[in-house]
């Protein structure tokens, strides 16, 4: 049988015996053990994709003793930019209900499918591949989408719905040499995405299966405003990552994440003077550069590899090398003009504290224009403090390199030092080499390079109408008996902890009552962007006395990750519009998330269902000896 004819009725693992001899492309495709039979049911195009690189031999891991990463010289590699994802024509064609016969993972039917029929198709295959993090290191075995770490970036437009087929071509679990779990469910953080495409943590699927995530690419507020929603609800910098329950940290550490950009008239994919455009630097990969941050630790060279260090069990992996777009301490040549950098912390745990340092050791200003992909009301210049980026947060910053003379070097500083391993003099006074994340080499403009953009507008975004909440609800993030809990319970994907009505809005209080000096939880709420209304901090140890903490200027916009330090209360408001189903709130410290500091909350369509489900929740809580959550029989 040829692979084109092969169907699911045939035994996927049982390739013909001639597959043993030699390893041509077809053999790679056919060997079910390698690709979990995935390729057999893929289109011809994706087979070529999957077979484009020979399958890497599995890693031999370097024990459980935490190694010190090998030495790497700074500023050897150029900063890579993840390639734009190339649209394909999916075969079999995406369908509204799950195409079980072709191997699609079970799911509910796509909501509002005919309204937002996907026009752009992408194919993202999660598979092992080799990645070199530095010229001085040998390649490492990672799990990547389409062979790239970080994954290729889908460049999408509001109003043009797309669909991404996530295919699992990871090794079968019995052949899995890593600490990851080869089952995936991919979340687009933080798309206004229908529930069945939102990458719910327990909706993971194993090797050989695929799942079509439908991204309507609409602004929130479709029902209210018609068309593609309220343009004031735009967010432009998103990222997608594996969300597999209990294994998110490991699977992300292995490389299953990437950026996802959404453009519209205000933030088009170009810098030309078109109506409504803010005219910020916006040529992807040229003047608009993702900076995808991660930390990793490498084993000593063995078997032609420097494998990333992995331990068995649930221990956090703490890196000693800082990675930017997949490289250690890269350099980037920049022209004397404005650039936009989209900074993203991919975790699993590390938070970043970044500042831009001139070669004389002084701090240079950066201008924050967007937080979590949402434009701020007006730009915020940061010149006397570092920029704190916690896991999953995105900061779009503009750096104007025309302020630096040609030939000068500018450094991005991270507050915590990494292990470099080679003796290098401090690149700038008071800046040890270990603290340098990357270097910018400023050169003169040349006529081929796009001319500088106009000054950054003083008003960037109009905020949506203020939210008048229909109800108030509190989420308590606690640590009891060694377990990370939300409202006294661990995540249970079958249990609904809160129900809201589609079209309504609520005020939520996020409370972190662990002792001061303890964990900070970057709380992520799926589905829609919210506003921070206020932030309070408990005064000394008195349980009831709080003081207001003034919001930072960059906290005044919309966002989807709410940093929650110990003893803090964050009051935020959000709306629930257009789609219904189950969604998540969780701490985005992925180790806490994997320890199930996560809850499921549902959006329902009718008042009847809301009342009934709220009553059920309170009945269940009573049985468990917990106080009721709702008053007035579930109506708020």
Partner 1 sequence: MNRRELFTGTAGNAACHAITPRGAQRIPNVVMRTHENRVVRFYDDLIKDRQVLINMMYATCEGYCPVITMRLVEIHEALHARMGRDLFMYSITLKPEQDDPAALKEFARMHGALLPGWTFLTGDAYDIDTLRYELFRHDHIKIDADLDAHAGQMRIINDATNRWLHVAPMASKMTVLQHIAWADPPKSFEQRLEENRRLQERIDQEVELYGYRKVI
For residues 202 and 547, give the distance between their C-alpha atoms in angstroms, rounded to a whole number: 39
Q: How far apart are CA 431 and CA 299, in angstroms?
A: 27
Sheet with 561-564, side-by-side order of all strands? 498-501, 598-604, 581-587, 521-525, 561-564
Those residues with Cβ within 8 angstroms of residue 317's Cβ, 6 or more apart along the chain or in another chain: 249, 250, 253, 296, 297, 309, 310, 311, 348
Pairwise CA distance, residues 407 & 491, whole Å: 53
- Closest separation in Å from C-beta 164 to partner 1: 19
* In the complex, minimum distance from the CB of residue 315 to partner 1, in angstroms, rounded to a whole number: 6
Rounded least distance, CB 157 to partner 1, Å: 24
Question: At closest approach, how far in Å is the CB of 126 from partner 1?
Answer: 15
Smallest gap from Cβ 118 to partner 1, in A, equals 15
Q: Which is nearer to partner 1, 246 or 636 (CB)?
A: 246
Whether 373 and 237 have beta carbons less than 8 Å apart is answered as yes
Residue whose entry in the numeric block shows the structure tokens 């500018």:
410
DSSP, collapsed to helix, strand or coil, labels residue 223 as helix
Question: Are 314 and 219 contacting, i.e. CB atoms less than 8 angstroms apart?
Answer: no
CA atoms within 13 A on the CB side of 160: 13
Q: How far is the CB of 211 from partner 1 (least distance, A)?
A: 10
Instruction: Report the alpha-carbon distance of residue 226 to residue 220 in Å, rounded.
Output: 10
Question: Least CB distance from residue 520 to partner 1, whole Å?
Answer: 14
Q: Which is nearer to partner 1, 37 or 234 (CB)?
A: 37
Strands 155-157 and 257-263, how do they pair?
A: parallel
**Minimum CB distance to partner 1 smaller for 15 or for 345:** 15
d(CA 505, CA 106) in angstroms, rounded, equals 30
Nearest CB to partner 1, comparing residues 100 and 422: 100
Task: Tell me whether residue 35 or residue 278 sits nearer to partner 1 (CB atom).
Answer: 35
Nearer to partner 1, 237 or 580 (CB): 580
Minimum CB distance to partner 1, residue 252 (Å): 17
Cβ closest to partner 1, residue 449 vs residue 519: 519
Give the whole-angstrom CA distance, residue 514 versus residue 508. 19
Residue closer to partner 1 by CB (options 188, 356) is 188
Check: CB of residue 466 under 8 Å from CB of residue 353.
no
Rounded to whole angstroms, the Cα distance separating 432 from 413 reads 9
Nearer to partner 1, 245 or 344 (CB): 245
For residue 521, what are its two tokens? 């939880």
Distance of alpha carbon 433 from alpha carbon 426, whole angstroms: 6
Cite the DSSP H helix spans in 295-434.
none
Tell me the closest approach of the beta carbon of residue 413 to partner 1, in angstroms. Answer: 27
């Amino acid at each position: 049988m040829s692979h084109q004819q092969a169907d699911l009725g045939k035994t996927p693992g049982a390739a013909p015996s001639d597959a043993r001899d030699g390893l041509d492309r077809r053999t790679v495709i056919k060997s079910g053990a390698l690709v979990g039979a995935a390729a057999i049911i893929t289109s011809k195009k994706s087979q070529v994709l999957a077979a484009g690189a020979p399958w890497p031999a599995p890693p031999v891991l370097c024990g459980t003793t935490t190694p010190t990463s090998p030495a790497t010289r700074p500023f050897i590699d150029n900063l890579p930019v993840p390639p734009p994802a190339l649209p394909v024509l999916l075969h079999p064609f995406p369908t509204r209900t799950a195409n079980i016969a072709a191997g699609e993972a079970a799911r509910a039917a796509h909501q509002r499918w005919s309204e937002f029929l996907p026009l752009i198709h992408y194919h993202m295959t999660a598979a092992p591949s080799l990645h070199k993090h530095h010229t001085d290191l040998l390649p490492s075995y990672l799990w990547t989408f389409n062979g790239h770490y970080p994954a290729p970036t889908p460049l999408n437009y509001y109003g043009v719905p797309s669909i991404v087929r996530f295919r699992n071509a990871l090794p079968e679990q019995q052949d899995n040499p890593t600490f990851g779990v080869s089952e995936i469910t991919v979340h687009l953080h933080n798309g206004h995405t229908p529930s069945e495409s939102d990458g719910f943590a327990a909706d993971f699927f194993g090797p050989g299966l695929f799942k079509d995530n439908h991204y309507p690419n609409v602004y929130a507020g479709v029902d209210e405003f018609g068309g593609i929603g309220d343009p004031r609800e735009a967010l432009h910098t998103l990222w997608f990552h594996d969300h597999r329950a209990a294994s998110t940290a490991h699977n992300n550490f292995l490389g299953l994440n990437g950026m996802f950009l959404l453009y519209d008239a205000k933030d088009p994919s170009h810098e030309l003077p078109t109506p409504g455009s803010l005219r910020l630097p916006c040529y992807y990969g040229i003047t608009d550069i993702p900076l995808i941050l991660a930390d990793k630790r490498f084993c000593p060279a063995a078997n032609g590899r420097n494998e990333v260090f992995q331990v068995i069990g649930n221990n956090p992996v703490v890196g000693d090398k800082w990675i930017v777009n997949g490289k250690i301490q890269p350099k980037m040549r920049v022209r004397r003009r404005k650039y936009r950098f989209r900074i993203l912390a991919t975790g699993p745990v590390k938070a970043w504290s970044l500042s831009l340092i001139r070669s004389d050791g002084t701090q240079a200003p950066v201008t924050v224009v967007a937080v979590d992909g949402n434009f701020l009301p007006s730009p915020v210049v940061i010149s006397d403090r570092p920029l704190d980026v916690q896991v999953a947060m995105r900061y779009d910053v503009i750096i104007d390199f025309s302020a630096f003379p040609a030939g000068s070097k500018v450094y991005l500083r991270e507050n915590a030092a990494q292990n470099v391993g080679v003796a290098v003099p401090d690149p700038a006074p008071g800046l040890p080499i270990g603290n340098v994340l990357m270097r910018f080499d400023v050169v003169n403009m040349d006529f081929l390079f796009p001319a500088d953009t106009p000054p950054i507008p003083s008003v960037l975004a109009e905020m949506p109408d203020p939210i008048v909440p229909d109800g108030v609800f509190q989420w308590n993030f606690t640590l009891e008996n060694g377990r990370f809990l939300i409202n006294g319970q661990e995540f249970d994907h079958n249990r609904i902890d809160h129900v809201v009505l589609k079209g309504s809005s609520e005020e939520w209080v996020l409370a972190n009552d662990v002792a001061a000096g303890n964990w900070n939880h970057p709380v992520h709420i799926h589905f829609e962007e919210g506003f921070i209304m206020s932030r309070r901090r408990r005064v000394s140890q008195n349980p009831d006395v709080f003081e207001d903490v003034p919001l930072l200027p960059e906290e005044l916009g919309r966002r989807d990750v709410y940093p929650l330090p110990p003893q803090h209360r964050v009051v935020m408001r959000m709306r629930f519009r257009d789609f219904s189903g189950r969604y998540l709130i969780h701490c985005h410290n992925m180790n806490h998330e994997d320890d199930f500091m996560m809850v499921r909350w549902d959006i329902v369509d009718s008042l009847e269902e809301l009342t009934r489900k709220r009553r059920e929740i309170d009945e269940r809580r009573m049985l468990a000896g917990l106080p009721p959550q709702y008053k007035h029989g579930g109506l708020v």
